[in-house]
Amino acid sequence: MKNRIAICALLLAAAAPATGADLLQIYRQAQVSDAQYGAARSAWSAGQEKLPQGLSGLLPSATVTANTQYNDRDLQFRTPGSLTSVQQYNSNTISLSVSQPLYRPQSLVSYEQSRIQVIQADAVFAQAAQDLILRVAQAYFDVLLGQDTVEFVQAQLTAFSQQLEQAKRNFEVGTATITDTHEAQSRYDLTVSTEIAARNDLELRKRQLELLIGRGAPGIAPLGQRFSLRVPEGNMDRWVAEAADNNLQVRVGRATLEVASREIERNRAAHRPTVEAFASYSDSAVGAGLQGSSVGTDTNTRVIGVQLAVPLYQGGFISSRVREAIANEDKAKQDLESARRTAELTARQTFLGVTSGIALVKALEAALVSSQSALDSTRLGQQVGVRTQVDVLNAQQQLSQTRRDLAQARYNYILAMLRLKSSVGQLEEQDIALVNAWLDK
């Protein structure tokens, strides 16, 4: 059994990496390597192009066309004695045309939409950045909790093995029953199975971290003594009101509604006339050979004018597009209201998560002291004969469980604090830096 304990200790040393990368370093690696964040960054870059696309409908357009062709034509009259004419010649043409919209309401609305779409793309990308922070923090502290769990189980396993050896010795000298030995053996075997499950869970948590940074999970810094509990500024109502206005999903929904509202106006503008100025210049040349002539011709044409176009009827297409846009606007309103309610609920939940997390951490810190005292008292009671082996095992198990619960409560508090900032659209890298200062680097 001693060899088994030594092997478990070596495995624990291998599983618990030395202090390495901290939370801020992992976050910056994820910014470069996370595929989901990279896709969001590319989508943001694409969204920025909406503005020049919308502006293009208000700017002049110019086109140059050129062609050259060889003509070979036979002309024969059907009257008796008529002559046959063979025409072989080259013709070349180059032309330049320029148009400038003077009044095109659809293009003006499209430009306004493009400005809102850029704002929408900014909000979507900011949301992806916040989501990356939360995913990195969740994966980081999941790994820390997995490591803590393995460590606590290993400590419990060591304590149970000592209790098992003591029970066997006491049974051999007749001061304990075989029941105490069997109970200690049962607890030891169950803890071995718990350790196996904890190690498997730790490996899965590391794979989740690797998914974000695109490489093997490095050793990470644990939570240190600088960790401190902080009460959120202001009351819950203030956070809820701010979430209803500044939550990033609400911002996206608000921009979507504005785009949908302008889409109605853009489709209605299709009924309106358009006015544009245009100018063109063309230069054409026809070589000798036309109608048997030996003389070629050159022609220059210059045109300038204003064109008015009045749409009359398109089979009901425009009216249908207007009705469609009105329905989409109503959908956008409902989506915005849903996003606002969700943001308010999330703010309430995360605010309570922070405040209750503070109370839970304090309670478990007190419980840890009590559990340690209870274990010490139980061991002393066993020595004087007022406590049994089972009582010691239970006290040891309670201490290990309290240590794990305290570690998890601290991590949950940190995550709740980050989610609260995210609910009001204020989660930034500096919040990661604040948490990072609590780590032992």
pLDDT of 4 above 50: no
Looking at residue 2, its pLDDT comes to 40
The CA distance from 367 to 363, in Å, is 6
Same domain membership, residue 335 and residue 239: yes
* 30 inside domain: yes
What dihedral do alpha carbons 376, 378, 380, 384 form, nearest 10°? Answer: 180
Q: What is the DSSP letter of 223?
A: B
In a domain, 441, yes or no: no
- Please state the rounded mean pLDDT for residues 268-276: 93
Q: Which of 252, 281, 310 is the last residue of a domain?
A: 310
- The last residue of one of the domains, among 246, 281, 310, is 310
Q: Is the pLDDT reported for residue 5 higher than 80?
A: no
- Please, which pLDDT band fits residue 7 given cuts at 50, 70 and 90? very low
Same domain? 227 vs 133: yes
Comparing 440 with 321, the larger pLDDT belongs to: 321
Note whether 246 and 359 are same-domain residues: yes
Residues 204 and 261 both lie in one domain = yes
Q: What share of the chain is helix, strand, coil (3-state, %, to 5)?
A: 70, 15, 15
* Residue 87 burial (CB count, 10 A): 14
Number of H helices, E strands in the chain: 11, 4
Quick one: 110 and 224 in the same domain? Answer: yes
* pLDDT value for 186: 81
Dist. CA 350–CA 354, nearest whole Å = 6
Examine the domain organization and report whether 186 and 260 are in the same domain: yes
Confidence (pLDDT) at 294: 57
- Please tell me which residue, 392 or 203, carries the higher pLDDT value: 203
pLDDT at residue 176, rounded to an integer: 63
Return the percentage of the chain with pLDDT > 70, whole number. 89
More confident residue, 324 or 5: 324
DSSP at 269: G
User: Is the domain of 49 the same as that of 134?
Assistant: yes
CATH at residue 91? 2.20.200
Same domain, 161 and 293: no
Say which residue, 379 or 147, is predicted with more confidence: 147
pLDDT surpassing 60 at residue 13 = no
| Mean predicted confidence (pLDDT) in 253-264 | 96
Whether 390 maps to a domain, the answer reads yes
Q: Does residue 168 lie within any of the structural domains?
A: yes
295, pLDDT greater than 70: no
Q: How many CB atoms lie within 10 A of CB 141?
A: 23
Q: How far apart are the first and last CA of the chain?
A: 36
pLDDT of 81: 63
Which structural domain, as residue segments, surrounds residue 305?
60-103+273-310
Q: In this structure, are 127 and 215 located in the same domain?
A: yes
Q: Please give the tally of structural domains in the chain.
A: 2
Place of tokens 């050979």: 289
CA distances from 325 to 53, 54, 214 (A): 21, 19, 43
Q: Could you tell me if 267 and 151 lie in one domain? A: yes
Q: What is the mean pLDDT of residues 355-374?
A: 93
Claim to verify: residue 212 and residue 283 sit in the same structural domain = no
Kindly report the CATH number assigned to the domain that includes residue 170: 1.20.1600.10
- Bridge partners for 90 per DSSP: 70
The pLDDT mean for the chain works out to: 87
Please check whether residue 70 lies inside any domain of the structure: yes
CA 304 to chain centre: 53
Least confident of 136-145, 218-227, 247-256: 218-227
Q: How far is CA 137 from the centre of its chain?
A: 13
415 within domain boundaries: yes
Using CA of residue 364, residue 367, residue 372, residue 375, what is the dihedral sign?
A: negative
Structure confidence at residue 14 (pLDDT): 40
Instruction: Reply yes or no on whether the pLDDT at 8 is more than 60.
Output: no
**According to the model, what pLDDT value does residue 289 have?**
57
Q: Is residue 301 part of a domain?
A: yes
According to DSSP, the residues that pair with 73 across neighbouring strands are 87
Contact 284, 338 (CB under 8 A): no
- How is 21-80 classified by DSSP, letter by letter? B-HHHHHHHHHHH-HHHHHHHHHHHHHHTHHHHHHHTTS-EEEEEEEEEEEEEEEE-SST
Question: For residue range 40-75, what is the model confidence (pLDDT) as tens digits?
Answer: 999 999 999 999 999 999 999 999 999 998 888 777
What would the pLDDT profile of 127-178 be if each residue is shown by its tens digit? Answer: 999 999 999 999 999 999 999 999 888 888 887 777 777 767 766 776 666 7
133: left (phi over 0), alpha (psi -120 to 50) or beta: alpha
Clarify whether residues 356 and 303 are in a common domain: no
